[in-house]
Chains A and B, each alone.
Chain A
Amino acid sequence: MHPFVELDRVSLSYGGGTLAVDGLSLTVEQGQFAAVVGPSGCGKSTLMKLVTGLMPPTRGGVIVDGQEVAGPLKICGMGFQNPTLLPWRTTLRNLMLPLEIVRPHRHKLRRERAGYEAEAKRLLASVGLAGFEDKFPWQLSGGMQQRVSLCRALIHGPKLLMLDEPFGALDAFTREELWAVLQDVWMERRFTGILVTHDLREAVYLADVVYVMTARPGRVMSVHRIDLPRPRNLETTFTPEFGRLVHALRDEISNVREAVR
Chain B
Amino acid sequence: MSRKRPAIQTLMPWLVVFGLFGAWELACIAFSVPEFVLPRPTVVFQTMAEFAGPLWQHSSYTLFTTVIGFALAVIGGVLLGLAVGASPLVYHGLYPVLIGFNAIPKVAIVPVLVVWFGIGTIPAIITAFAISFFPIAVNVATGLATLEPELEDVLRSLGASKLDILLKVGLPRSLPYFFASLKVAVTLAFVGSVIAETVASNEGIGYLMLQASSRFQIPLVFAGLIVIAAMGVVMYFLFAAVEGRLTGWATRKTEFAEVE
Residues of chain A whose beta carbon lies under 8 Å from any beta carbon of chain B: 49, 52-54, 72-80, 82, 84, 86-88, 97-98, 100-103, 136, 138-139, 152-153, 156, 162, 164
Contact = CB atoms under 8 A, between A and B. Distances in A.
Contacts of B148: 82, 84
B157 A52 contact: yes
Interface string B99-129: 0000000000000000000000000000000
A54 B151 CA distance: 13
Interface stretch (B16-24, B50-58, B164-172): B164-172
Nearest to A138: B252
Contacts of B6: none
Contacts of B156: 54, 72
Contacts of B250: 87-88
A88 B172 contact: yes
B158 A156 contact: yes
Contacts of A80: 150, 153-154
Given A100-B168, A139-B259, A139-B260, A84 B159 contact: no
Interface string B132-172: 00000000000000001011011111111000100011001
B150 A84 contact: yes
Contact of A162 (B157, B160, B169, B260): B157
A147 to B, nearest CB: 16
B157 A74 contact: yes
A189 to B, nearest CB: 17
Contacts of B158: 74, 76, 98, 101-102, 156
A100 B153 CA distance: 16
Contacts of B155: 101
A78 B160 contact: no
B159 A102 contact: yes
Nearest to B150: A80
B60 to A, nearest CB: 37
Given A87-B250, A101-B158, A101-B159, A54 B164 contact: no
Nearest to B257: A138
27 contacts: A49-B153, A53-B157, A54-B156, A72-B156, A72-B157, A72-B159, A73-B157, A74-B157, A77-B157, A78-B153, A78-B157, A82-B150, A84-B148, A86-B168, A86-B172, A87-B249, A87-B250, A98-B158, A100-B164, A101-B160, A101-B168, A103-B159, A136-B249, A136-B252, A138-B256, A153-B154, A162-B157
Nearest to A152: B154
A232 to B, nearest CB: 28
Contacts of B164: 100-101
B143 to A, nearest CB: 12
Contacts of B151: 84
A50 B247 CA distance: 37
B249 A78 contact: no
Given A74-B159, A139-B260, A156-B158, 5 more contacts: A74-B157, A76-B158, A78-B153, A86-B172, A88-B172
Given A82-B148, A82-B150, A101-B168, A76 B249 contact: no
Contacts of A84: 148, 150-151, 154
Contacts of B159: 72-75, 101-103
Nearest to B161: A101
A97 B168 contact: yes
Nearest to B249: A88
Contacts of A102: 158-159
Interface string B227-260: 0000000000000000000010110100010011
Contacts of B160: 101
A53 B157 CA distance: 8
A206 B15 CA distance: 63
A64 to B, nearest CB: 11
B245 to A, nearest CB: 13
A76 B156 CA distance: 9
A86 B169 contact: yes
Contacts of A153: 154
Contacts of A152: 154
Nearest to A49: B153
A78 B156 CA distance: 10
A87 B150 CA distance: 15
B156 to A, nearest CB: 5
